[in-house]
A and B are shown apart, each in its own frame.
Chain A
Amino acid sequence: GAGVSQTPSNKVTEKGKYVELRCDPISGHTALYWYRQSLGQGPEFLIYFQGTGAADDSGLPNDRFFAVRPEGSVSTLKIQRTERGDSAVYLCASSLTAQGATEAFFGQGTRLTVV
């Protein structure tokens, strides 16, 4: 596709359940980022992939959060034992090269609601 695609667009889950959020970056973009945005706030960094490897996962809030990018393209953010505080919009972005040299392009986000 022409842009970054995220699925699902909305996800409602019960507290304690496991969820997976998918990101399909722009074709050829080697760098992929996950951010989380709470209402009225700017996005907060979670994890950055360069190719298949996680170059920086310092933003993951705890060990319930995990992300993979096995083939260097599609990425999945996984959240175990969801809590109500995990409710937010999860944004994915990709860029052509690393070292912040090019623009980051964002998907439409997945709105996660934990009830």
Chain B
Amino acid sequence: KQEVTQIPAALSVPEGENLVLNCSFTDSAIYNLQWFRQDPGKGLTSLLLIQSSQREQTSGRLNASLDKSSGRSTLYIAASQPGDSATYLCAVVGHFGNEKLTFGTGTRLTIIP
């Protein structure tokens, strides 16, 4: 059974710093990995999708990397801003034909102005 872990559970950093969020998964046979953002009381907003054949994806100040063989992904946020404060979730889709997302428990990020 696939298990997804995110460490740390919570993180506070001063505004302007670069930071890295970690995600690990136990079964390396994934089809893709997706990073989401969740604001309090809201649904999930998709940030980046990495196919299993890719090593990284970038969108603005966000960069996600994937090392499938070691079961790890990182989300790098450059020049953090107070508006980046949210919970960040990673999720994996299993092998072809398995559609469901398996989520980690998330990292709650607070950017201190």
Chain A interface residues toward B at CB < 8 A? 4, 6, 31, 33, 35, 40-45, 48, 50, 55-56, 59, 91, 93, 98-109, 111
Given contact pairs A42-B91, A100-B32, A55 touches B99 in the complex (Cβ within 8 A): yes
CB of A105 within 8 A of CB of B4, answer: no
CA distance A45 to B103 in the complex (A): 9
* CB of B98, distance to nearest CB on chain A (Å): 7
Which B-chain residue is minimally distant from A102 (CB atoms)?
Answer: B49
* CB of B105, distance to nearest CB on chain A (Å): 5
CB contacts (< 8 Å) of B43 on chain A: these are 4, 6, 91, 106-109
User: Is B109 an interface residue when CB atoms closer than 8 A count as contact?
Assistant: no
User: Is B76 an interface residue when CB atoms closer than 8 A count as contact?
Assistant: no
User: Is B61 an interface residue when CB atoms closer than 8 A count as contact?
Assistant: no
User: Is B104 an interface residue when CB atoms closer than 8 A count as contact?
Assistant: yes
For B36-78 the 0/1 string (1 means CB < 8 A from A) is 1000011111100100000000000000000000000000000
CA distance A98 to B104 in the complex (A): 22
Given contact pairs A43-B44, A108-B42, A100 touches B103 in the complex (Cβ within 8 A): no
Given contact pairs A103-B34, A103-B46, A42 touches B104 in the complex (Cβ within 8 A): yes
CB contacts (< 8 Å) of B94 on chain A: these are 100
* CB of A94, distance to nearest CB on chain B (Å): 11
CB contacts (< 8 Å) of A6 on chain B: these are 43
CB contacts (< 8 Å) of A99 on chain B: these are 31, 96-97, 99
CA distance A44 to B4 in the complex (A): 12
For B89-113 the 0/1 string (1 means CB < 8 A from A) is 1010110111111111110000000
CB contacts (< 8 Å) of B34 on chain A: these are 103-104
Additional pairs, 5, CB under 8 Å, beyond known A35-B103, A45-B100, A106-B45: A42-B104, A43-B44, A100-B31, A106-B36, A111-B41
CB contacts (< 8 Å) of B4 on chain A: these are 42
CB contacts (< 8 Å) of B98 on chain A: these are 56, 100
CB of A48 within 8 A of CB of B44, answer: no
CA distance A107 to B89 in the complex (A): 15
CA distance A27 to B2 in the complex (A): 31
Partner of B105, one of A41, A100, A101, A103: A41
